[in-house]
Amino acid sequence: MIFGPYQAIHTFLSVFGVGINIFLLFLAVTKSPKIMRPCSALITNKSLTDIMSSLANLFVMQRILTDGSSISIIPTGPCTLIGPTACYAGHMFMGSFLEHNLIWLIACYLFRYYILYVRDPSIKSIIFAAFLVYTPSFIHMAVWIKVFDMEQKDFPNLSNSNSSDMVLTGNTVYWSSIVVYVQLVITAVLVVIAYTWIRNVLINFILSMGATLSKDVKIINKQLVKILTFQVCIPIWIFLGVFFFLAMYTQIAHPEILQYSITISFMLAPVISPFAYIFFVPHYWNFCIGKKYVTPMTTSICASSTSTCGSSEKKEGVEN
């Protein structure tokens, strides 16, 4: 295991990613009022996924090389002390967590629509949805890892681990990497489409309800639109990482710099993502600046983070 500038950058991003997401977990668990529980459950799942992405990156610290005919993964992290299969597993699960992060964003948008026009989901339903969403990706990654392990046993010299740099290559590495990047691009496109849809839903809801909305609910929905807009940066970093890969794959650009840029670009997604909630959820931001926030009796911040004000307005109507 070698520790140089590239490993230092990965270590900083990974440790910072773990730290900022643990802080967001703390805010979601301890600084969310009872009425925010569905929202805190959504944030908790997303934070845990970002923590796992950061830990997987720290474990592998990979460079990715390709000339179009082959793909090589060069891990330089602690996984090299264990073996090629461990490094490949870290590589695949990092891609799995990034994909789950994007899929969960889409799920959150659907939850926001559900809350807006139906009711707040239960914590159990959110936990069940999280497991349901991640299970196919987990099985997919596990199958690839098993195939790679079998390939290593059949061709023990395929991955070079005797030199100073461990190199993972072969058909399994090639096709699994292609499949993962295609899935990331498709999922990122779906996130952008879902963002556009839910943003229009929220804006149209505010415009249609007009004067019937309370001041607090209007503020909450404005904050929600800001959160949604901030979260669009997540697929942008995924697009950028895949663009770097395609530039190498098609030999448009020299791999000297791009081999380092792919994973770093991917890592910026879980590092930047928590700030959407820290900056724009009033409870969390006011805690950070030491200002007390008083929650309105009939308004849910979860409605702002998970989307709804519809249920809040219904409560107001019943009380009135």
- Which amino acid belongs to residue 209? M
Contacts of 257-260 with C-beta under 8 Å, sequence gap 24+, read 259/63, 259/64, 259/65, 259/74, 260/6, 260/63
Residue environment code for 54-91, b if the CB has 16+ CB neighbours within 10 A, otherwise e? bbbbbbbbbbbbbeeeebbbbbbbebbeeebbbbbbbb
**pLDDT, tens digit, for every residue of 22-50?**
999 999 888 876 666 777 888 888 899 99
Residue 319 domain-assigned (yes or no):
no
CATH number where 106 lies: 1.20.1070.10
- The answer to whether residue 146 sits within a structural domain is yes
Cβ neighbours for 83, distance < 8 A, ≥ 6 positions apart: 161
Q: Taking 80 as the threshold, does the pLDDT of residue 316 lie above it?
A: no
**Looking at the domain assignment, is residue 315 inside a domain?**
no
Helices 5-30 and 37-60: crossing angle in degrees, nearest 10, is 160
Domain count, the chain: 1
- Domain-embedded: residue 181: yes
pLDDT grade for 221, boundaries at 50, 70 and 90: low
Residue 316 located in a structural domain: no
3: which residues sit within 8 A by CB, 6+ positions away? none
Mean pLDDT along residues 108-128: 79
Convert 168-196 to b/e letters by CB count within 10 Å (16 or more is b): bbbebbeebbeebbebbbebbebbeebbe
Cβ atoms of 109 and 194 closer than 8 Å: yes
Res 226 pLDDT > 70: yes
Q: For residue 235, what pLDDT is reported?
A: 87
Task: Considering only residues 166 and 153, tell me which one the structure prediction assigns the higher pLDDT.
Answer: 166
Model pLDDT, residue 305: 37
Question: Shortest CA distance to 62 belongs to which of 99, 91, 97?
Answer: 91
- Per-residue pLDDT, 164: 58
The reported pLDDT for the residue numbered 319 is 38
User: Which pTM value belongs to this model?
Assistant: 0.82
Residue 119 counted as domain residue: yes
Any domain includes 314: no
Which domain does 159 fall in, by range?
5-307
Least confident interval from 92-101, 275-284, 293-302: 293-302
Domain assignment present for residue 320? The answer is no
CA distance 134 to 99: 9
Mean pLDDT along residues 253-267: 84
Burial class (CB in 10 A: 0-12, 13-18, 19+), 42: buried
